[in-house]
Amino acid sequence: MGVYQPQDYVIYLGILLVLLALALKFLFNKIKIDKTFIIAISPYMIMAIAIRVLVDVGFYERSKIWNITPGVYIVAFVLAFTMILIGFQLEKRNIVSYWKLPFVVGIICAVYFLANLIPFFNYPLRIIVPLLMATGITLTVYLISPLFYKSIREFENTAILFGHLLDGCATFIAIDYYGFGEEHLLPLFLINLTGTALIMIPLKLILILVVIYLLDTLYKEERKNFKEKEVTIFKYKFKVTTLMMHNFYLSIKVLIFILGFGPGFRNTLLPSLF
Q: What is the pLDDT of residue 8?
A: 65
Contacts of 19 (CB under 8 A, 6+ apart): 74, 77
202 & 109 share domain: no
Mean pLDDT of all residues in 6-25? 73
| Least reliable range by pLDDT among 24-28, 162-166, 193-197 | 24-28
- The answer to whether position 19 is within a domain reads no
Q: How many domains does the chain have?
A: 2
101 & 143 share domain: no
Q: What is the pLDDT of residue 2?
A: 52
The range of the structural domain enclosing residue 40 comes to 31-120
47 & 146 share domain: no
Q: What is the pLDDT of residue 192?
A: 94
| Least reliable range by pLDDT among 51-65, 102-116, 141-155, 234-248 | 234-248
191 & 165 share domain: yes
Among 140, 272, 106, CA closest to 209: 140
Instruction: Say which residue, 42 or 274, is predicted with more confidence.
Output: 42
Q: What is the pLDDT of residue 226?
A: 86
Q: What is the pLDDT of residue 149?
A: 96
Residue 59 banded pLDDT, cuts 50, 70, 90: very high
Answer whether residue 234 shows pLDDT above 80.
Answer: no
134 & 107 share domain: no
- In contact, 64 and 71? CB cutoff 8 Å: yes
- In contact, 151 and 212? CB cutoff 8 Å: yes
| Least reliable range by pLDDT among 79-88, 181-190, 204-213 | 181-190
Q: Residue 54: phi, psi to the nearest 5?
A: -60, -30
153 & 251 share domain: yes
- The answer to whether position 99 is within a domain reads yes
148 & 116 share domain: no
